Structure 1
Amino acid sequence: MNAGGAAESFSVQERKQRERADRERLIVATARELAEHHGWDAVTTRRLAERIEYSQPVLYSHFRGKREIIGAVAFEGAAEMASAVRAAAAAADGPRARVTALAHAYLGFAERNPAVHDAMFQLDGGLAFAHEDTPEPLKDAFAALLESIGEGAGGGIHPALFTEVFWAALQGLATLTRAGRLPPQDAERRVELLVG
């Protein structure tokens, strides 16, 4: 094979990889859209295949099923949440203001993206949290919290443990608020108490 043929072969391979990545993004975006508008029960491989105008075998060549799709949505959501939390904390002045901004960003993300939030924390997307094999997007989402919250640990408390407890309380607020279990008029006061 001549050099031109090798370059042509390489460009065909690159194009196929780009097309594959584009299809995966389309599948994840479509699943996310369906879930946000109709709930996760509406996300089926058949419905996804119809929406993206590919056959179910093509869909299965990217994901083994709904569980992996949920996991992909969770990864995407974790990256978005980490970005939102970091941006909010960076824009605030002082440790308390950073944690308050982080809390609002976290709760706002959960409110604006309920299906993504469910994919991250409620549904089985095959995700391993708090393990050595925890995927990087999930580790980075926790790191985004640790960066601002961990500095508040005192009295010999490990910053990661302190962050986990704060995160658990924040996640509880997000879950209970979304479920309508907490009176909305006290939302700001809850954040103040948690940050305090």
Structure 2
Amino acid sequence: MATTDRRQRERSAQRDLIVASARSLAEQEGWEAVTTRRLATEIEYSQPVIYKHFASLDALVEAVALEGFAELAAAIHHARVDVGDADADPVGVVAHAYVDWAAANPSLYDAMFIRATGLHFGAEETPPQLTDGYAELLAATSVIAGDRDPDVLAEVLWAALHGLVLLDRGGRLRAAHRRARVEAVAALLAG
């Protein structure tokens, strides 16, 4: 039994190294630089070892994206529950956490929302990493919903923030007004 456990730990460590290396390479040089050949060179494994863990590069990007969704959910959660000011706008706090996280992690955000993956939102097989982040948006919008549907508000918030992130990253919005735009979205949702 000990040999089986050791092999499983080694296999898990290999997988973690592949994911971490893909993420690091994407952060440094962009997703275009992430190939199985380049990863094999970086981590000193053969390409077949990578394919033992991931059937395709898309499957590897999906694993990186899942890490990103977990990290984004944690960032939003911490912002939402760690607010010291009882009068703070819960939607504004969550919105700023989302936009700030996306700005700090552009390659990871691309893996989550731009690159093709097999991840689906709102389905039975939706991984918890995806639903946890949405639950944080929903928790914030539930506070302000009143007689409106908090799910619709959460979806609108998410869509607005995603649009702001992409437009801002593309240089299509005035950088000095990022915080004001986020606050305007929160104010509009609050009514």
TM-score range, shorter chain: over 0.9
The equivalent residue for 2:165 is: 174
Indicate which of 68, 73, 85 corresponds to 1:77.
68
Note closer, same or farther for the CA distance 1:95–1:145 as it changes in structure 2 (3 Å cut): farther
Name which structure has the greater RCO, CA cutoff 8 Å, separation 6+.
2
Single out whichever of 51-60 and 130-139 deviates more from structure 2: 130-139
Q: CA deviation digits over 1:42-82, x for unaligned, max 9?
A: 10011111111111111100001110011001100000000
1-side partners of 2:72 and 2:177: how far apart?
24
TM-score, structure 2 as length reference: 0.92
Alignment of 1:1-196 (within 5 A): 10-92=1-83, 93-94=85-86, 96-155=88-147, 157-196=148-187
**Cα deviation digits, residues 7-61 of structure 1 (max 9, x gap):** xxx1111111111111111111110111111111110011111111111111100
Q: How many residues align?
A: 186
Measured against aligned partners, the alpha-carbon deviations of 1:146-187 in whole angstroms (never above 9, x if no partner) come to: 1222322133x2211210111110111111111111001111
Unaligned runs of 5+ in 1: 1-9
Larger mean Cα displacement after TM superposition, 48-57 or 127-136: 127-136
> Take 2:97 and 2:70, find their aligned partners in 1: how far apart are those partners?
13
Deviates further, 136-145 or 40-49: 136-145
Q: CA RMSD in A?
A: 1.3
Q: Aligned partners of 2:152, 2:6: CA distance in 1, in Å?
A: 45
Equivalent AA in structure 2 for residue 41 of structure 1: E
Asked if structure 1 preserves the Cα contact closer than 8 Å seen for 2:90 and 2:143, the reply is no
SS of match in other structure, 1:130: coil
Q: In 2, distance between residues paired with 1:127 and 1:74? A: 9
TM-score by length of 1: 0.90
Which amino acid in the other structure matches residue 48 of structure 1? L
